[in-house]
Structures are given as C-alpha cells and as structure tokens.
Structure 1
Amino acid sequence: MLAEFLVAQALGAASRPRIEWDAYDVVTPDGVLVEVKSSAYVQAWTQARPSAIRFGGLNGRTWNETAGYADSATYNADVYVFALVTARDHASYDPLDLRQWTYWVLPRRIVEATGQRSMALSRVEELAVAPVSHGGLAEAVRVAAEAGERL
C-alpha cells in the first residue's frame, strides 16, 4: 500500500481514493491506468540474507459486482511500475526516505509479451530502459504510456 501511495503521489493522483477490486492501482490525471508492483530486500522479520527480488501478480482476473471474476487472467493496466526499496539491512531501512526507492517502468505491451505472471528483478532490468527515482517517475510513466498500447 505504501508503494501505491508513493507512486500515486508522484503521478499527481493521490487525491483519488483507491477502489478495492480495481484491476489497477492508480489512475493518473490523464487517465493512464497504472499497476504498482513492489518489493524490498529487507522484511519485518529476521533474515539470514536479503530477499531475492521478484514481482508477482502481473496479470489477474478482473472482478465486478454483477459478473464476478473474469474467466481468464489478463494484463489490466496501461503501465506497470516496479518499485524497490533498496536498503539491504534493518539499520538503514526507512521506506519513508524516497531516496531508498528505485522504480522501473514498462508499458503493458512489453509486460504482456513476456507471458509471465511474475518477474525477477533481473528480467525487469533487462526490459526497462533505465531505473528512475521518485522525482523521475511521472515522466517515465508518461513516456511508457505513449510508447505502449493504451487500454
């Protein structure tokens, strides 16, 4: 939820309440549908080593009140934002420090072309142009939306 809020804030969309069961996490003021996937090396529990980074739930079955769940899973956003808290130990971990967040942004057509339900960080890094900071997120989402297919 924090990652979704931070992305919404960066995109100027934090004032719109999130609707449960929506097929995406954020709608930009320009109507771009954004799915946020987040991960971190450090978890709340004691760890022998930092977590391996993997982003799951890339596609899913949509749901609505009248029809229930869709028959098949689809990629439901225009743009996917992969958010990572980069701290590697509990002593330095501060998810409210925006400098600790790194983002990769991909248009739906690239995520969909993988056919994957989840992706390791290494695959996201291969597919994305470059990582961006919190301050560069709005521009990266705009560029990805223009480069991809809008729903």
Structure 2
Amino acid sequence: MNNARGYLAEYLVGTALGIQELQRIEWDSYDLLLGEITIEVKSSAYLQLWDQKELRTLNFTGLQGIRSNPRAPDGGRDALGRRLNAMLYVFCVQTATSHDVYDQLNVAQWDFYVVSRSDLASTNQNSLGIARVKSLSGGATAWDDLKAAVTAAAVGQERDDDADWWGA
C-alpha cells in the first residue's frame, strides 16, 4: 500500500544503518536514532498501487514538524512550532516505473539521498522536489553505503534543544 511505503523506507534505512532494535513511535520528532544521530526518513515513488496514466512527480513534504509529547501540558505541542527536528534527513525513492518489475523489498530499486539539517535549513522550505534533493545531497547513496554517508553527514550537525521542553 502507498501509505505503508514510509514505514518500509524507515525499515530499509534502519537495517542499512545496523540499528538492532527498530521501533516506530508514531508522532516522534524523528524516525531513527543511530547513536546520538537523529534521522528523519522521507519516501516517495513514481508508482502508486493503482494504474496510472503517467508517473508520479517526486515530492517530499512535511520536512518541518512540531514536536509533541502526551506528557506535556497544553495538548503536548512544542511552543517553538514547526522546525527541522533531526540532524539528518534520508530521502528514499522507490525507482520502479512499471508495475511488472516493481519489487518494494529489492534495495536495488531504491535511491537514497542523505541531506544534513544545515543544508536543508538553508532552503527554508517545508517541501522539496527530487531535483533539489539531488542537488543538496550530492547524489544518490547506495543502500550498502548509507551508514558511512549518514555518519559523515552528521559531523558538525546540531539539534535544537532536545531537553524536556515541556518542563521538568
């Protein structure tokens, strides 16, 4: 299903990074944690589950999010509002252009683009098309090379205050 693609992308990236305990926490401020590196995973694909007249335009939305926590006052929303909540963003594209060859579990059919928080912040955008993602990342990273690319891109990246922002 199209709505499950994001979950699969998180699993593929987490597996490539060697994260042993992959846990999905809905509405968390980032998707994956590799040591101290916070990672947001975004996904897109040319194909939808249904028949199409033309391939889908690749676009990544919701780059800036609002942190939330059910233990926080006032409905659990961070007063700082929308912002980039991860040190790195991995943009994942399922590249199949025909339903006949589509295999969502074949990592060779995925392109992965690693973009640092600071590079993404420089755009001041909440959504990006694939051309901008390619430009910011310097090109696709193979699934086997994701851990090295993520580790390298994390150097010098900082997060906003990750303390208990809702109070002690």
Question: CA contact under 8 A between 2:11 and 2:22: conserved in structure 1?
Answer: no
Deviation at 1:14, TM superposition (A): 4.3
Percentage of identical aligned residues: 39
CA distance, structure 1, for counterparts of residue 130 and residue 22 of structure 2: 29
Question: CA contact under 8 A between 1:5 and 1:14: conserved in structure 2?
Answer: no
Check 1:62–1:89 CA distance in 2 against 1; reply closer, same or farther (3 A cut): same
CA distance, structure 1, for counterparts of residue 114 and residue 68 of structure 2: 25
Give 5+ residue unaligned stretches, structure 2.
1-6, 160-168
CA distance, structure 2, for counterparts of residue 100 and residue 7 of structure 1: 14
CA distance, structure 1, for counterparts of residue 50 and residue 157 of structure 2: 40
Alignment of 1:2-151 (within 5 A): 2-28=8-34, 30-65=35-70, 66-67=72-73, 68-71=76-79, 72-146=81-155, 148-151=156-159
Q: State the AA in 2 paired with 1:149.
A: Q
Deviation at 1:48, TM superposition (A): 0.4
Partner of 2:14, secondary structure, is: helix
Give 5+ residue unaligned stretches, structure 1.
none
Q: RMSD of the alignment, in Å?
A: 1.1
TM-score by length of 2: 0.85
- 1:112-151 CA-partner distances (Å, limit 9, x unpaired): 11111110001111111221111111111011101x4222
Residue-pair matches, total:
149
TM-score by length of 1: 0.94
Question: CA contact under 8 A between 1:40 and 1:53: conserved in structure 2?
Answer: yes
Q: State the AA in 1 paired with 2:148.
A: E
Partner of 1:57, secondary structure, is: coil
Deviation at 1:53, TM superposition (A): 0.2
Q: State the AA in 2 paired with 1:41.
A: Y
